[in-house]
Every structure is written in C-alpha cells, then in structure tokens.
Amino acid sequence: MDPRVLSPLDRLLELADNGLRASFARPASSRPTPGNPASEPTDPGLRRHAAGLMRVNHAGEIAAQGLYHGQALTARSPDTRAALRQAAAEEGDHLAWCRERLDELGSRPSLFNPLWYAGSVAIGALAGIAGDRMSLGFMAETERQVEGHLATHLERLPADDQRSRTIVQQMQADEIGHGRAAIAAGAATLPEPVPKLMRMSARIMTGTAYWI
C-alpha cells in the first residue's frame, strides 16, 4: 500500500511530472538492455526500418505509462493502485531499452510522445472510473494486444538485427506476465466494442509513430 496521502492537486502534479519524464527524459532501466549491441543491420534501408519499428515500440511504452498512470489516478482500491504503479515501473524498463536502441540506430523517438501520453492518461482514467475489475480487464486486454503487436514486429524486424529482436522478445515475455497478473487479480472481460476501439486507436498511433 502506498504510505503517502496525496491531495488531488498532488496527484495532478505527479501525473504531469511523470508525463514529462516519460516523454522527454532518458529513463534508467532496472535491468540490463537485452541483446548484443554489436548485432546491427548493415543495410541503411533496413536500419531505418528497424528504427521505425523501435520508435513505434517506444511510443507504445509511452502510451503504456500514460494508461497505467491514468488508471492509478482513478483506481478505487489502494491495492489496485499499487499494482498499476508497479506495472508502470516495470514497463519503464521497456521504455529505456527502446530509447537506447533508437540511439544505437541513430534515430529518435516520436515527436508526438506528449500526445500519446496525454491521450492514454485520459483513456486510463476513464477505465479506472469504470471500476477496478474493469480497469484490470483493460490492463489485461492492453497487454494481450501489445503481445500480438510485438509478435508482428518480430516478423518484420531485419533478420540480422538481433539486438532489436532480443529486446522485443523480452518485452513480449514481460507483457504476457503483466496480462496474467491482471487476470489473476480479478480482471473483468471487456464488452466487445472496447477491444475493437483499442485496436483502432493503436493503429493510428503505430502508423504515425513509425514515421514521425
């Protein structure tokens, strides 16, 4: 349980700080970045393609931070709030790994990261308002969709980019674990229109972040 007692203003300021850190800071990882940094795609076009995919993954991790922070903001149970904050902290490793890989590939994060974060906070807060079981269901569905998205990236990444591939494989394993944890905590099944809307919004983000 979080020992701090925060006012609504404290929570909003904390949220703004989290958003700025996620969007602009170079996050530290609690685990070493997976893979060998010497395993690089040699073709310039393939490097740009790998960078585009890793930029999408980085933007997805920005969105994950926003979702979990927004859900924690409106969670009703201290235990649920703590679980969401813990998930956001663990996703922070993914954020750091993707940013490091973008640097190695000579590329940059999406210019729309603040937008991805702010929009995800709003969506996460709405999920939290619907109740803790629905919020956990949203978490489980998010992780399920991200797992499938990462599987697609493993198919699309250059075969000789073992560094990016190893990072994505570890991210995928972690997402599976987060989804299972949400289900074990009592996640509800989301109404059918919700997963479809989630997929639509994800397509907009991924299609934009690959290029910008």
Is the distance from CB of 124 to CB of 5 less than 8 angstroms? no
**pLDDT tens figures, 23-32:** 666 777 889 9
Q: What is the mean pLDDT of residues 165-169?
A: 96
Cα–Cα dist 21/23, whole Å: 6
Alpha-carbon dihedral sign for residues 31, 36, 41, 42? positive
- pLDDT for res 164: 95
Cα–Cα dist 56/45, whole Å: 17
Task: For domain 8-19+42-209, give the CATH number.
Answer: 1.20.1260.10
pLDDT of 184 higher than 60: yes
Closest CA to 94 of 156, 150, 18, 16: 150
Q: Return the percentage of the chain with pLDDT > 70, whole number.
A: 88
- pLDDT for res 85: 85
- pLDDT for res 82: 86
- Spell out the domain ranges in the chain: 8-19+42-209
| Spacing of C-alpha 44 from chain mean position | 27
Q: What residue type is 189 in one-letter code?
A: T
**pLDDT tens figures, 48-103:** 999 999 999 999 999 999 999 999 889 988 888 888 888 888 888 999 999 999 99
Closest CA to 20 of 124, 123, 113: 113
**pLDDT tens figures, 7-41:** 666 666 666 666 666 666 677 788 999 998 776 77
Residue written as token pair 């590329």: 107
